[in-house]
Structure 1
């Protein structure tokens, strides 16, 4: 079912993926697979997703191809099953039971392709008391304890955009899961279902913290610990111009360098004395307010004090280190993160911009040898 592909596509060249269109973690997971070289065909629905940006700017659809299929039409399920029969991986993000009702659930797909890896992306998982309930990133990370760790004491928890739940706890665990299952399928000839729940992945991310909690090295409250802003030499500080600097001087040699550059050598002994942490924090806070963010950035630039400026999304691509590495790239007029990670033998690339709904129907029908795709499911042109 897989086809050969040149090495420059990336390490997943030749792997075929069907993505049943959704929002959030599913599209991002499929983008990562596409960035790694997989041939990802996104099955868009007529009218597009319930939430989303202009398709021409939806970076999560880069490096993919798109067809439009109405799964509620009489032949909709058959068209998806034709794709599944030729795929290595299928990803869907519906509520439990929806894919089955539409006729494209795991049993339907495995009847056509026993080797298929069927990836399911949800917030609550396929079972459990909340499995049928709606939710979003903030709901899922709330119940895992992760959200409760973030923010200042005495204030509501700070919402970390949707990076922690949707993408770290969701997308990345789905990708790890389907690639592990693909390895198994190629070794045994047998596919399987991967149940990737954001609550499971987010909870898993907190493994080290749970170990510290068990050992008595972590207090179960915000802003009181080494890594949550409670420590004065691990956190953020405001500068004279309203900017911020991030400090990560955990180890003794790094914190010594940090305090030396701040001209606070007389407070070196406060590092290991928790009773003096308020004194140390106050001194550091006052010192950072003496200079601008740019001035502090220049001062710490050639040190191992583990201090960095807090940049905005628009500023980040211009940081000298990120610019030198090409961490961000421009494609089709859109500045965006480049594919990651990097490979020595099978380099990845940003091959194409966001796939527009239905734009690749004929090409996919030809390449995957599915003539039935070229029917009446193409998107209707917008009226002038």
Structure 2
């Protein structure tokens, strides 16, 4: 069996964050992903986003290095890059040049601010993109500054996933038109696109701008985390009344709370009441109480614990490659399964082979090394 994307050829310009993850996910699903790197370095098994990729190290300021990059792009289905707007154009690898040489190319551009707008040329990071889109403000405790939700929401949710959506949609459209196009994937566009339900609730006045006062921001006693007797944590999330009823029964909480679950004026007092109750037993004791129930209770695990959780273990959600913990490929396919993860090869380690595949002779490759075109 072959993986779903086994005939797709992708060029990834080396960078950090959303683009390397996008390339990894495509490679997991069988795409041939070639990274154009700045300089060769030894293999690093901890560089998980490089798994299943090949690498060529080119000096793009050298005419020979630039020509090799252009040849690779001319043979690709997809290019992904995450530089500030204009950088690829200055290198001579912009959309106009690349699509002129390869009209079927899907040119994926990944930035935080987007290709246009007053902030397009300024630096930024996940937290900034969440901040200006309204996604950061509700996260954290009341009367305290918002809390960074790692870099999952903007970098990888609004960034990587929307870049992949754009690429796959453009590939689908190319089947009809036969033409490539440019994808402007911006985190400040992707994050709001994920907030449709919150915008709905806000429009219906079911959501306020006061932090920790809504039912998904920690304000509700039935949707938050609690400390247990052994200073561990459990997540409690029975939003639906029939699930909430199970929480009340299993935790020996007042049954009359069922009829007033969504009355906000009760929430502060009940949050304290529930916190006191959950403090009376250890995490393991609570998990035993809730085992097999629909009360929507789960342990809060750290990186050292996730692999051994029975559900994660049964599904094989995590794997180890050279003892490096990482995710198994996702999603799962019934007929064209993803490739099993392998350790990344050396940065620049495929340079000679990739140049040979382009038709370069050993003498030409040796000369490129002598002139500094290969790094």
TM-score for both structures, normalised by structure 1: 0.92
Structure 1, residues 173-230: CA drift from partner, whole Å, max 9, x if none? 0011011111112321110000000111011111110111011111122111111111
Q: The residue matched to 2:225 in structure 1 has which SS?
A: strand
1:369: how far off? 4.8
Alignment partner, residue 14 of structure 1 = 7
Equivalent in 332, 340, 350 of residue 342 of structure 1: 332
The answer to whether the Cα contact below 8 Å between 2:235 and 2:300 also exists between their aligned partners in 1 is: yes
Distance between the aligned counterparts of 2:47 and 2:36, measured in 1? 15
In the alignment, which residue of structure 1 is the partner of 2:275?
A: 285
Q: 1:270 to 1:195 in 2, by over 3 A?
A: same
Is 1:270–1:280's contact at 8 Å kept on the other side of the alignment? no
Q: Does 1:138 align with 2:131?
A: no
Say what the alpha-carbon RMSD is for the aligned residues: 1.9
CA distance in 1, matches of 2:262, 2:113: 41
**Unaligned stretches of 5+ residues in structure 2:** none
Deviation for aligned residue 1:366:
4.2
Q: Is the 8 A contact 1:83 1:370 kept in 2?
A: no
Query: Hey, what's the Cα distance between the residues in 2 that align with 1:305 and 1:66?
Result: 48
**1:368 Cα offset (Å):** 5.3
After superposition, the C-alpha distances for 1:254-289 in whole angstroms (9 at most, x for unaligned) are 001001111113433441332222232122100110
Distance in 2 between the 1:370 and 1:263 partners?
Answer: 74
Q: Which residue pairs with 2:179 in the alignment? A: 190
- Compared with structure 1, are the counterparts of its residues 145 and 370 closer, same or farther at alpha carbon in structure 2 (3 Å cutoff)? farther
Mapped partners of 1:92, 1:262: distance in 2: 51
Aligned equivalents of 2:351, 2:122: Cα separation in 1? 34
> Contact between 1:63 and 1:350, CA under 8 Å: does it hold in 2?
no
Name structure 1 gaps, 5 residues minimum: 1-6
- The Cα of 1:83 is off from its aligned counterpart by 0.5
**Structure 1 equivalent of residue 253 of structure 2:** 264
Q: Does 1:62 align with 2:77?
A: no
Query: Where does 1:135-284 land on structure 2 (aligned, <5 Å)?
Result: 135-266=124-255, 267-284=257-274
Q: 1:285 to 1:85 in 2, by over 3 A?
A: same
- The Cα offsets for residues 17-39 of structure 1, whole Å up to 9 and x where unpaired, read as 00000111111111111111100
Contact 2:226 2:278 in 1 (8 A): yes
Query: Is 1:27 equivalent to 2:17 in the alignment?
Result: no
Matches within 5 A, 1:43-54: 43-46=36-39
Q: Does 1:307 align with 2:300?
A: no
Deviation at 1:111, TM superposition (A): 1.4
- Residue 298 of structure 1 aligns with which residue? 288
Higher relative contact order (CA 8 A, sep 6+): 2
Q: 1:272 to 1:134 in 2, by over 3 A?
A: closer
Post-superposition offset of 1:355: 3.1
1:318 corresponds to which of 299, 302, 308: 308
Q: Distance in 2 between matches of 1:194 and 1:209?
A: 26
1:75: Cα distance to partner?
Answer: 2.2
Q: TM-score, normalised by structure 2?
A: 0.94
- Cα distance change on mapping 1:370 and 1:286 into 2, 3 Å: farther
What is residue 348 of structure 2 aligned with on the other side?
358
Question: CA 1:247 to 1:373, structure 2 compared with 1: closer, same or farther past 3 Å?
Answer: farther
Aligned residue number for residue 79 of structure 2:
90
Number of aligned residue pairs: 369
Supply the distance in 2 between the matched residues of 1:75 and 1:208 (Cα, whole angstroms). Answer: 51
Q: Are the counterparts in 2 of residues 115 and 191 from structure 1 also a CA contact under 8 Å?
A: yes
SS at match of 1:147: coil
